[in-house]
Amino acid sequence: MNSNGVVEWAVVESDIGPLLLAATDSGLVSVVFHARPAVRDRALAQLRSRLGAELVESPVSARLAEPIRQFAAYFAGTLRDFSLDLDWSLTSGFNRQVLRELSAGVPYGAVAGYGDLAERVGQPGAAQAVGAAMGSNPLPVVVPCHRVVERDGGLGGFGGGLETKRRLLALEGVLPQPLF
């Protein structure tokens, strides 16, 4: 199998629990929340089948060094904008269009509504489809689906759980930090 067929991965600790980071030759391809063994193993099986790739655990991988450094800086509050090569191969079509708009257009410390994003990609009225795109985001945190909220101020859904979404928004100063 050639080197393109290898996905390197590692689990790193963060303020929101263990994160699985996976990268191909093209860039970071997957971020998985709550990457304890059962979740990690399920995520790795999905990556293997969706990418048709060999998976190699590599916590000192050159491919993962910069993503690991940037995540640490983000959680330390010293990094606001990720500048990583991203491999978008786990998303396509409308979902990819919405996620790219989110990545480019909703900065640190800001939020957008599901309907706003639908309008930005020229699909007004597709707020539910935007919600589905957020749910399918293979690169959460870096592609900041936590910044997409309901129009009435509700948090909306979140693949990592609402407590995780709340903590990310608090880190970015959008919500007050929890008292304990």
User: Which active-site residues does the annotation give?
Assistant: 145
Query: CB under 8 Å to 109, separation ≥6 — which residues?
Result: 80, 172, 173, 174
Q: Convert 85-94 to b/e letters by CB count within 10 Å (16 or more is b).
A: ebbbebbeeb
- CA distances for 99 relative to 10, 40, 92, 102, 177, angstroms: 24, 23, 10, 5, 27
Residue 27 is given by DSSP the state E
Q: Facing residues of 60 across strands?
A: none
Phi and psi at residue 7, in whole multiples of 5°? -110, 125
What 3-state DSSP class applies to 138? coil
